[in-house]
Amino acid sequence: MNDTSAAPPAKPLKELGAADILGVMRMIPHRYPFLMIDRVIEIENDVRAVGIKNVSINEPHFQGHFPRQPIMPGVLIIEAMAQTAAVLVVETLEGAAAGKLVYFMSIDEARFRKPVFPGDQIRVEVSKVRNRGQVWKFRGEAKVGGRLMAEAAFTAMIMDD
């Protein structure tokens, strides 16, 4: 007896990609001291990516921001969002954008909720809002221990060198 009312088999979960520091460096042109992500732990092509930034007191900006109370500059947290988004673009375009420059066009709705300190690990979550040609719009959040530290919407353009 055939049971034709049975539900179809469940689709397997989509496997997410990832990139260690060497993979990140193959995808985007940034280098120390301006490489703001250490790895990308989740990449869902054309949808979202999650980057990790381990904040160290040895980073050069802490010498002046602020020596007695070092906090990570908010603009560098936004830069970490942009670099995570750039990895997402390269993966989405299957490497066609690897090494290309990504220029900010706009940063909107930036909010800095809490300071980030040396020793913190930032989880950088970015989601694609839309893209049209070489112009991509994203929404990003930076979290430490699950707490929202910063957020922004930003638009970038991918350019050849």
SS (H, E, C) the chain: CCCCCCCCCCCCCCCCEEECHHHHHHHCCCCCCCCCCCEEEEEECCCEEEEEEECCCCCHHHHCCCCCCCCCCHHHHHHHHHHHHHHHHHHHCCCCCCCCEEEEEEEEEEEECCCCCCCCEEEEEEEEEEEECCEEEEEEEEEECCEEEEEEEEEEEEECC
Q: Which residue is catalytic, options 35, 39, 65, 131?
A: 65
- How many degrees, rounded to 5, is the angle at CA 129 between CA 127 and CA 135? 110
- Name the pTM for this structure: 0.89
Residue ranges for the chain with pLDDT beneath 70: 1-15, 161
120-160 tens-digit pLDDT: 999 999 999 999 999 999 999 999 999 999 999 999 998 87
Per-residue confidence (pLDDT) for residue 15, from 0 to 100: 59
How many Cα atoms occupy the beta-carbon half-sphere of 101 within 13 Å?
Answer: 6
Per-residue confidence (pLDDT) for residue 161, from 0 to 100: 67
Per-residue confidence (pLDDT) for residue 97, from 0 to 100: 83
Q: Is 61 annotated as catalytic?
A: no
